[in-house]
Amino acid sequence: MTSVFYNLESNTWSHNEIDRPKVTLGHNRLLINHISIQDQGKSTITFQVKKNQQHLGPIIGILTNEDRFPFSGNIKTFKRICKKIMNEGGIPVIFTPSAFSGTSLKCYTFCFQTKKWLELFSPLPDVIYNRIPSVLYESNEQYKQFRNKLSELNIPFFNESYLSKIGTMSLLSSDKFLSKYIPETIDLKTEEDLRIYLNKWNCIYIKKHHSAKGLGVFKISLLKDNTASIRNAFHVELIKEIKDCWKFLTSISEPYICQQGIDSKLPDGRKFDLRILVHKKDKQFIISGIGVRVGTPGGITTHVPRGGSIIPLEELPIQLNEQLLQKIVQLTGEALNQHQGHFYEFSMDIGLHNGQYYIFEINSKPMVFDEVEIKEKGMENLIHLFYELSKFEP
């Protein structure tokens, strides 16, 4: 590795490669000058970087928005990524679309000595990792213009956007192999449709277009005497006649999908599913880890913020077919990237009923796993991906 310096007073970059007087930095190949150690000054921060011939880096841009000052997102995760990149070689920067000029950007990096975020002016990143935490933000016109500009500049960019449940289930259902692992999904058009499918399956799940963390998910279960229960992630239960359930569905103001209720349960009756973290690595989609989430008795989701719990994979009293899960992961990754954009990191919620796997959900911006082993392996594969996309050796 070699050293690159940033002067906080003059906002200039330099390097210490004596045998390479002309080196570049950033996607737009900013030419930076050599500087001797004695000329660095006190207001200089140092980055250890990799070399790709005359090009130094990589500059790894983590994209977020500015709902909070100076930026939004999971700050603890951003610090972890910064530390790992600095240790492995590279320049981590956090930035927002409004700070992007087309040739440079105002951004932030974390100084572990002072434990403060430092403001920098950087060349364009060699790769951009999208961690914008808002579906609405990604749909505004300003962001779309920014995304188009990145495409014109041909900067490697992932993950493309949040995934909609409607679009994702439609995409996977069109794949001959993956369609076998999708809960039956229907289009409820009338009250009679609701009645028919409740009688057929006993329960159905309603999932709003952009629901997350169990919010916007409802379970409708058939009871006696032409009634049904509606439960949400907060364990609120309403008993209604089927005609009133239909009125409830027609009152939902955003698109939703309706799926067959799958009983993915442990032997003790609690609902469970697998959380599988996936990364692209050398043209393959690999499993970085498998977590197990267990719901509360009678709960409709397994999300920990909604009362779910975590058990170690080794304690799962069910033997998993890991070869089949790897194939599901690989084909899902291929389908997403063929039709939806660039999704090189995602997680999958997968259930199991009578030996049959079911894909419940795919998340293009996975939450941080609580399991240390999965967290560390996921970070390792993410950093490898940064180097792969920016064409620097890991």
What pLDDT sits at residue 50?
95
Tell me: pLDDT of 334 over 90: yes
Q: Give the separation between CA 274 and CA 256, rounded to whole angstroms.
A: 23
What pLDDT sits at residue 394?
76
Tell me: pLDDT of 239 over 80: no
Tell me: pLDDT of 277 over 80: yes
Q: What is the mean pLDDT of residues 225-250?
A: 81
What pLDDT sits at residue 298?
65
Q: Give the separation between CA 343 and CA 67, rounded to whole angstroms.
A: 24
8 A C-beta contact, residue 392 and residue 57: yes
Q: What is the mean pLDDT of residues 23-33?
A: 92
Angle at which helices 242-251 and 191-201 cross, to 10°: 120
Phi-psi map region of 138: left, alpha, beta (phi>0 left; psi -120 to 50 alpha): alpha
What pLDDT sits at residue 292?
93
User: What are the two backbone dihedrals, phi and then psi, of residue 96, each rounded to the nearest 5 degrees?
Assistant: -120, 160
CA-nearest of 226, 289, 220 to 256 is 220
Say how many C-beta atoms besides its own lie within 10 A of residue 2's C-beta: 15
List the beta bridge partners of residue 129: 62, 158
Q: Which pLDDT tens digit goes with each residue over 246-264?
A: 888 888 878 888 899 998 8
Which of the residue ranges 127-131, 218-222, 251-255, 315-319 has the most confident prediction, judged by mean pLDDT?
127-131
Tell me: pLDDT of 326 over 80: yes
Tokens of 222: 């058939």
What pLDDT sits at residue 372?
94
Residue given tokens 């570049």 in the structure block: 24
The superfamily CATH assigns to domain 165-182+264-390 is: ATP-grasp fold, B domain (3.30.470.20)
Tell me: pLDDT of 164 over 90: no
Which range, of 122-131, 268-277, 304-313, averages the lowest pLDDT?
Answer: 304-313
pLDDT-derived band at 305 (thresholds 50, 70, 90) equals low
CATH number for the region 2-158 comes to 3.40.50
Average pLDDT, the chain: 89
Domain boundaries, the chain: 2-158, 165-182+264-390, 185-260
DSSP, residue by residue, 331-394: HHHHHHHHHT----EEEEEEEEETTEEEEEEEESSPPPPSSHHHHHHHHHHHHHHHHHHHT---
Tell me: pLDDT of 37 over 80: no
Residue given tokens 């990524």 in the structure block: 81
Q: What is the DSSP letter of 146?
A: H
Length of the chain: 394
What pLDDT sits at residue 231?
82
What pLDDT sits at residue 77?
94
Q: What is the mean pLDDT of residues 352-368?
A: 92
User: What are the two backbone dihedrals, phi and then psi, of residue 360, each rounded to the nearest 5 degrees?
Assistant: -90, -40
pLDDT-derived band at 38 (thresholds 50, 70, 90) equals low
What's the predicted TM-score (pTM) here? 0.90
Is residue 198 helix, strand or coil? Answer: helix
C-alpha distances (whole Å) from 277 to each of 98, 105, 154, 218, 329 are: 31, 31, 27, 25, 9
Share of the chain above pLDDT 70, in %: 93
What pLDDT sits at residue 265?
86
276, amino acid identity: I
Going through 172-317 in order, the beta strands assigned E by DSSP cover 185-186, 203-212, 215-222, 227-232, 237-241, 256-260, 272-281, 284-294, 309-311
pLDDT-derived band at 213 (thresholds 50, 70, 90) equals low
CA-nearest of 162, 1, 83, 128 to 389 is 128
Q: What is the mean pLDDT of residues 90-117?
A: 92
What pLDDT sits at residue 257?
85
Phi-psi map region of 219: left, alpha, beta (phi>0 left; psi -120 to 50 alpha): beta
| Nearby residues of 330 by Cβ (< 8 Å), 6 or more positions away | 284, 285
Q: Which pLDDT tens digit goes with each residue over 172-182?
A: 999 999 999 99
Share of the chain above pLDDT 90, in %: 54
What pLDDT sits at residue 175?
92
Which of the residue ranges 19-23, 126-130, 217-221, 260-264 has the most confident prediction, judged by mean pLDDT?
126-130
Q: Which pLDDT tens digit goes with each residue over 44-86?
A: 899 999 999 899 999 999 999 987 778 888 999 999 999 999 9
Q: What is the mean pLDDT of residues 348-358?
A: 94
CA-nearest of 275, 366, 271, 267 to 318 is 267
Say how many C-beta atoms besides its own lie within 10 A of residue 236's C-beta: 9
What pLDDT sits at residue 229?
86
8 A C-beta contact, residue 80 and residue 379: yes
Q: What is the mean pLDDT of residues 372-387?
A: 96
Q: What is the DSSP letter of 271?
A: B
Higher pLDDT, 358 or 21: 358
